[in-house]
Chains A and B, each alone.
Chain A
Amino acid sequence: MEPQLMCCEGNRPAIRRAYRDSNLLTDRVLHALLRAEDKYLPASNYFKCVQREIAPYMRRIVATWMLEVCEEQKCEEEVFPLAMNYMDRFLSVEPTKKNHLQLLGAACMFLASKLKETIPLTAEKLCIYTDNSVRPTQLLQMELLVLNKLKWDLASVTPLDFIDHFLSQLPIRRENRPILRKHAQTFVALCATDVKFIASPPSMVAAGSMVAAVEGLQMRMVGNAMMSQKLTEQLAQTIKSDPDCLRACQEQIESLLETSLRQAQQQQHSVTMEVKNISEGQDLSTTPTDVRDVNI
């Protein structure tokens, strides 16, 4: 007899997740994603061509805040990149006042959370995060405006959509997938905060993040370390891009990481903290007790 033991920490019922569906990792799906992604790309030059008051550094400020909120609220990983995509797409078409940028960011998180989460963020909570500088009614109106400008098409392709495809294609040991996924996700979030990646196709950001994650973790994964070049070539082929482009993207990500790390040493930010963890190659899995192999 092997009795099953269910170990629940805390009183809260866990969120039920669907099993990962391998049917969603087929080439057909991957190609559909590649075809669809361009449709959701923001305009790269909206700071110059559309916006009068909004400058790149403001986007970084609001992005950092959004990431902080998403992390504190333990949002699903997709929420932040998706919200940033909404914001960029909105800013690509609608001149916005600097004073309204935070409201826009909140509305984008609101929408992304509703699209992706079982228990979405509430308008009230988001308003608290703006230090009550906006009211729920205004958030809802902004939400409608964003929806309108995005033509109600919220199903953006984000880099995270590609990560699992890559993981299933690359010769990576199964037990290493979660940590690689986590690192790649963190890189993706990092890229979403940086204006340099606004116009990069999500597949490119995902592949660059993947390579950066594999390289960063290589030491810990002896046995399945691929030659970096080979990995880049394979992923470039997967996303139908040029290896040199991918290499450039990866380098950009790594230098972004470095910059963030430097900032992290000066000021302790949640984002950068996490990045720091990655760079040090620490085990991110903080499972308090490892009971997976307990014999009963």
Chain B
Amino acid sequence: MSDVRLSNGSPTLERTDPRLSDHPKPSACRSLFGSVNHEELKRDLKGHLRDMEEAASAKWGFDFANHTPLANGRLEWELVDCRDVPTFYNGQVARREKGVCSAGNNNVDLNGNHSCVVVAPSEDSDRSDGPMECTEQCTGLRKRPACHDTSTQNKRSHTSSAEVSCPSRSLSTEHTPRKTSPKRQT
């Protein structure tokens, strides 16, 4: 008898219906502080992203833009076979399709890590892993927004890099190299 359920419960108390696709009400669509200077914004954001990349580069001793270790970094980087790393880092599983984002400041880095890790075997060039991140950022349309690996990494190491936690790329980098570090290359 009292087994009747009301799927929509009491809407005000708890939301049960999915997000409406309705268009935003015009009244809520407003620019709060006047028009945005897009040139300036672009410059600022670019600058920030570059800073982040440089900080990551310094932290990991790795040139993420060019997928190469820095000459005098304190870390030793080595190529490892992608079969030697946990499948999680192995592109297919966790990562999405590769995007070809050349543009972004961040893009390459991600790959960079992975690629560097994975480089050795035949298919080193672009790991699928890396690209994904770039894709998101570069394109601006986040297909899968969330999966910056970095997040994980930062959680673990977040004390270390006080200033700048390294941007996305770092994550994969960080873990992989350490795991496999015994052998070195380059």
Closest-by-CB residue of B relative to A150 is: B165
Contact of B13 among A14, A17, A178, A291 (CB under 8 A): A178
A280 within 8 A of B: no
B32 within 8 A of A: yes
Known: A151-B165, A286-B12. A296 touches B4 (CB 8 A): yes
Contact of A12 among B12, B17, B155 (CB under 8 A): B17
Q: Which residues of A contact B7 (CB under 8 A)?
A: 6-9, 14
A74, B25: Cα distance in complex, Å: 13
Instruction: Quote the shortest CB–CB distance from A292 to chain B (angstroms).
Output: 6
Q: Which residues of A contact B8 (CB under 8 A)?
A: 7-10, 14, 287
Interface size for B (C-beta < 8 A) is 63
Q: Which residues of B contact A291 (CB under 8 A)?
A: 4, 6
Q: Which residues of A contact B73 (CB under 8 A)?
A: none
Q: Which residues of B contact A276 (CB under 8 A)?
A: none
Q: Which residues of B contact A121 (CB under 8 A)?
A: 19
Known: A17-B16, A284-B12, A293-B2. A147 touches B151 (CB 8 A): yes
Closest-by-CB residue of B relative to A177 is: B13
A291, B12: Cα distance in complex, Å: 16
A114 within 8 A of B: yes
* Stretch of B36-44, B82-90, B122-130, B178-186 on the interface side: B36-44
Known: A142-B45, A292-B4. A72 touches B28 (CB 8 A): yes
B57 within 8 A of A: no
Closest-by-CB residue of B relative to A154 is: B151
Contact between B28 and A133, CB atoms less than 8 A apart: no
Q: Which residues of A contact B12 (CB under 8 A)?
A: 182, 284-286
Instruction: Quote the shortest CB–CB distance from B3 to chain A (angstroms).
Output: 5
A282, B38: Cα distance in complex, Å: 46
Contact between A287 and B10, CB atoms less than 8 A apart: yes
Q: Which residues of B contact A151 (CB under 8 A)?
A: 154, 158, 161, 165
Instruction: Quote the shortest CB–CB distance from A35 to chain B (angstroms).
Output: 16
Q: Which residues of B contact A238 (CB under 8 A)?
A: none
Contact of B146 among A74, A101, A114, A138 (CB under 8 A): A114
- B-facing residues in A257-289 (Cβ within 8 Å): 284-287, 289
Q: Which residues of A contact B10 (CB under 8 A)?
A: 178, 284-287
Contact between A148 and B1, CB atoms less than 8 A apart: no
Closest-by-CB residue of B relative to A69 is: B28
Contact of B4 among A7, A62, A182 (CB under 8 A): A7
- Across the A-B interface, how many residue pairs have beta carbons closer than 8 Å? 204
Contact between B31 and A133, CB atoms less than 8 A apart: yes
Closest-by-CB residue of A relative to B104 is: A141
Known: A12-B17, A123-B140. A102 touches B44 (CB 8 A): no
Q: Which residues of B contact A143 (CB under 8 A)?
A: 145
Contact between A145 and B45, CB atoms less than 8 A apart: yes
Contact of A13 among B18, B142, B155 (CB under 8 A): B18
Residue interface mask A100-144, B partner, CB < 8 A = 1: 111100000010001001111101110011111111111111111
Contact of A144 among B4, B18, B28, B137 (CB under 8 A): B137
Known: A100-B44, A123-B140, A152-B155. A62 touches B28 (CB 8 A): no
A268, B125: Cα distance in complex, Å: 59
Q: Which residues of B contact A65 (CB under 8 A)?
A: 28, 30, 32
B78 within 8 A of A: no
Known: A99-B36, A130-B31. A76 touches B146 (CB 8 A): no
Q: Which residues of A contact B29 (CB under 8 A)?
A: 128-132
A9, B6: Cα distance in complex, Å: 8
Q: Which residues of B contact A144 (CB under 8 A)?
A: 49, 52, 106, 137, 148, 167-168
Known: A151-B158, A296-B1. 15 other contacts (CB 8 A): A8-B8, A17-B14, A73-B20, A74-B20, A99-B40, A133-B36, A140-B136, A145-B48, A152-B165, A154-B151, A178-B14, A179-B13, A285-B10, A285-B13, A292-B6
A-B pairs with the 6 shortest C-beta distances? A137-B140, A152-B154, A133-B31, A285-B10, A287-B10, A151-B165
Can you list 10 A-B pairs, Cβ within 8 angstroms, ordered by A? A2-B1, A4-B3, A4-B5, A61-B32, A99-B41, A128-B29, A130-B32, A135-B140, A144-B167, A293-B2
